[in-house]
Amino acid sequence: MRALSTTAVNARTETHMSTDRLPKGFAVRLDSRVRITDRSARGQGGANLVAPFGTVVALTAHESGMIDDGVLEVTDHVSGALARRLLDLGVAHPRPSRGPSRAELTVVIPVRDGAASLDRLLGALTGVSIIVVDDGSYPPIERPGITVIRHQQPFGLAEARNTGLRAAQTPFVAFLDPCVQPGSLWAEALLAHFADPDVGLVVPRLNPLPSRRRWAQRYDAMRPSLEPGRRECGLSPGAAPFGVPASALVARRKALLAVGGFDAGFPAANGTDVCLRLVNDGWRVRFDPVAVVQSEAPSDLAQWVKARAVAGSASARLSASFSDASRLALWSRVWPALLAVFVLLGKRSTALGLFVLALGGSARLARRVPPVDNTLQTAATMAALELRGAFWRCSALVLRHAWPVSLAAAVVSRRARYALAVLALAEGAFDWMSRRDSDDSLDLVRYAVLRRVDDMAFGFGAWQGYLEVRKLRQR
């Protein structure tokens, strides 16, 4: 199933050996949602870091003393190892004092027949080396003072990015499509993460250009199609599903060469695919929403729906290719399936099922939580948050990934029809409430309508993708 195209980057090395500590001068800050509980009152000393997403980290008195006002600065091997542990557990985020400069960065721009967009992007880039890869444009693209590499015939964006990757001479390479516009400090924000020697790639936040006022573009401003999340985080296939746009990325060149560059077999999911391969190779991938890059959105609703369907198909193919590496823990996979059954059975069964699952989650977490101020309360809080996460996963399963099955159940069952309608309205309302602080937000009704159109288009594409994968495996 997985095979890089014949013109992909051929250089490969052994799996990257990650370091167990961060370098001196590096700093990490605890996530704002993490609570510190003191264990000294229990006669044990030290402290616990309690995160709302189910993680509790027990610290010794010496380790807890290293954290000052939520910040841990690396000064020696011990603090470096602790900072690495907190970063990998997701309870802290990197705050390096400095990173590579723009002089160490090359921007690769793959383009085909997009001269106007290319000129806008070139005008926004300063202080960096630039390589434009002309993927068979007619007439050929020429820009005085800019390195232009031409493909005599179009090979696709993935191959154009690989051509630029091979030609770059700097240790870091940014890939920007002509349709994007980076912010003023995008490079500094992303390059700072590479002070960590194990970071192989950093993803900025991609927002649509504010000049777009159509429904779909305003919806995209609230809910970007490829959004790793709303908070800074490390991207890992074992934690949660994510999507990464290839139109704006910054990578460590040797890391990207080591995994074979971009794969033309995933034209609609180039970014997600390369992130997964980097993580599987031992590199770390970060998402930084502070670094914002704006992008042109589809011109009309039909193009927008088509883009959503293509994204669904690519997601299905990626899921099949990385099925072993990207599976969530068993409990996380069982939650949405069970909840989906409860939802379609009706209100009483749903309430009973949620109560049983919440009790099970509380008991499971209580066994894992080390002594804190109130172990049962902490476990119950975590279980409630896990229940909220399960609601979103259940909604995604019923309304997005398996909506044809849900629709069939609604046709034959009045109870399922009622439950599906309630879930669709509730999910749309809750999602809108969590995103209505956008600068160009939609009202609830239009957002909820587009939310369902988004789910149906993505789900339709996903089913197409799964069927294509199945046909390929049967050959």
Same domain? For 185 and 285 the reply is yes
Q: Which residue, of 64, 94, 124, is where some domain finishes?
A: 94
Q: Which residue, of 299, 316, 342, is where some domain finishes?
A: 299
Query: Residue 11's pLDDT band (boundaries 50, 70, 90)?
Result: very low
62-66, 236-240, 471-475, range with greatest mean pLDDT = 62-66
Query: Which CATH number goes with the domain that contains 129?
Result: 3.90.550.10
108-117, 319-328, 368-377, range with greatest mean pLDDT = 108-117
**411 in any annotated domain:** yes
Q: Which residue, of 254, 279, 299, is where some domain finishes?
A: 299
**468 in any annotated domain:** no
pLDDT of 109 > 70? The answer is: yes
Q: Return all residues near 41 (Cβ < 8 A) that are at least 6 apart.
A: none
Query: Residue 1's pLDDT band (boundaries 50, 70, 90)?
Result: very low
Same domain? For 291 and 352 the reply is no
Residues 334-365: tens digit of each pLDDT: 455 555 565 555 555 565 666 666 666 656 65
Question: What's the pLDDT at 218?
Answer: 82
Question: What's the pLDDT at 420?
Answer: 86
Mean pLDDT of 398-410: 85
Mean pLDDT of 12-17: 62
- Please name which of 185, 156, 211, 370 lies closest in space to residue 288, comparing C-alpha atoms: 185
Cβ atoms of 248 and 176 closer than 8 Å: yes
Query: Residue 2's pLDDT band (boundaries 50, 70, 90)?
Result: very low
Domain that holds residue 56: 27-94
**12 in any annotated domain:** no
Question: What's the pLDDT at 292?
Answer: 87
> Rounded distance, CA 290 to CA 308, Å?
25
Query: Residue 452's pLDDT band (boundaries 50, 70, 90)?
Result: very high
Question: What's the pLDDT at 48?
Answer: 81
Mean pLDDT of 390-403: 81
**423 in any annotated domain:** yes
Q: What is the mean pLDDT of the chain?
A: 80
When divided into structural domains, the chain yields a total of 3
Same domain? For 231 and 198 the reply is yes
Same domain? For 123 and 203 the reply is yes
Residues 238-293: tens digit of each pLDDT: 655 677 888 899 999 999 999 999 988 776 677 888 988 999 899 999 999 888 88
Question: What's the pLDDT at 380?
Answer: 64
Question: What's the pLDDT at 363?
Answer: 63
**227 in any annotated domain:** yes
pLDDT of 149 > 70? The answer is: yes
Question: What's the pLDDT at 262?
Answer: 92
Residues 181-235: tens digit of each pLDDT: 998 889 999 999 999 999 999 999 888 776 556 778 788 878 877 677 778 888 8
Mean pLDDT of 42-56: 72
Same domain? For 250 and 341 the reply is no
Query: Residue 330's pLDDT band (boundaries 50, 70, 90)?
Result: very low
Same domain? For 260 and 139 the reply is yes
Same domain? For 82 and 219 the reply is no
Question: What's the pLDDT at 343?
Answer: 58
**65 in any annotated domain:** yes
pLDDT of 176 > 70? The answer is: yes
Question: What's the pLDDT at 454?
Answer: 93
Question: What's the pLDDT at 255?
Answer: 95
Tokens matching residue 130: 């630039």
Same domain? For 364 and 426 the reply is yes
**470 in any annotated domain:** no
Q: pTM higher than 0.85 for the full model?
A: no
